[in-house]
Amino acid sequence: MTLPTLLSQLLPGPVLAPFFYGVLLYGTRYLVMALALYSLARRGRGRPVDAAYPAGDDRAAHLRREIGHAAGTVLVFGLVNAVLFGTGLIQHTQLYFRLDAAPAGWFALSVVLALVLHDALFYALHRLMHTRPLYRRMHLTHHRSVRPTAFAAYSFHPWEALGEALLVVAVLFVLPMHPLALLVFQTVSTLINVYGHCGREFYPPDWHRHPIGRWINTSTLHAHHHATGRDNYGLYFTWWDRWLGSADPARR
């Protein structure tokens, strides 16, 4: 029995199409971005953010693990998409489908506000997953990539993948957004996530001292997080880490 046949038997008709659409969208976007950043890293573009792989590391096995977990994450994202759109739950969110239904300029502003709100929710979930009761159950899978590659961006335990998906659902219940604005927001989010795991730094060396740069998260900061298992819990910005005392002491 093929996977599509099995899924068609397990999933009711109305949710099957949004499931496959979600898998195709999330999977394609992740693969394109991860392959691009991984290729740049392999060619030595940017600056290294941590030590090279020890001689005993099996890079192929490392990549298989990250990509394998990422495949599971894409399926979870597809299931959440199926529930949202296939059951009618999306009608109870703030998503609107006519561009003229919101004031001019709201489209761009909603993307910015979505990033700010999502960053706050992500920080809270990330700190929570680093507590003892949840770390092994949810987050350890992701942190097996002590020196992550770009493919680690989606390398989650299924419970963490569900938590990450529900953060976006929460944003939709709070912020009015057009589907195209949602697409832009999630594309930017995925790109920053992939960049944060790619192992190379593309910002200037003194970016963390710049008046604006000091508030922007970097691959260097996230590499420190993976190497130590602490500090730098934000996704896009550093303000929650700075305000709540979880920033890397060397770059506060």
**List of the chain residues with pLDDT < 70:** 1-13, 51-57, 250-252
SS3 state of residue 95: strand
pTM above 0.85, yes or no: yes
Q: Which two tokens stand for residue 23?
A: 């898998």
Q: Tell me, what's the pLDDT at 1? A: 47
Q: Are 30 and 70 in contact (CB under 8 A)?
A: yes
Each residue of 186-230: pLDDT tens digit? 999 999 999 999 999 999 988 888 899 899 999 999 999 998 888
Computed over every residue of the chain, the mean pLDDT equals: 90
Please report, rounded to a whole number, the percentage of residues in the chain having pLDDT higher than 70. Answer: 91
Instruction: Return the number of other C-beta atoms located less than 10 Å from residue 10's C-beta.
Output: 9
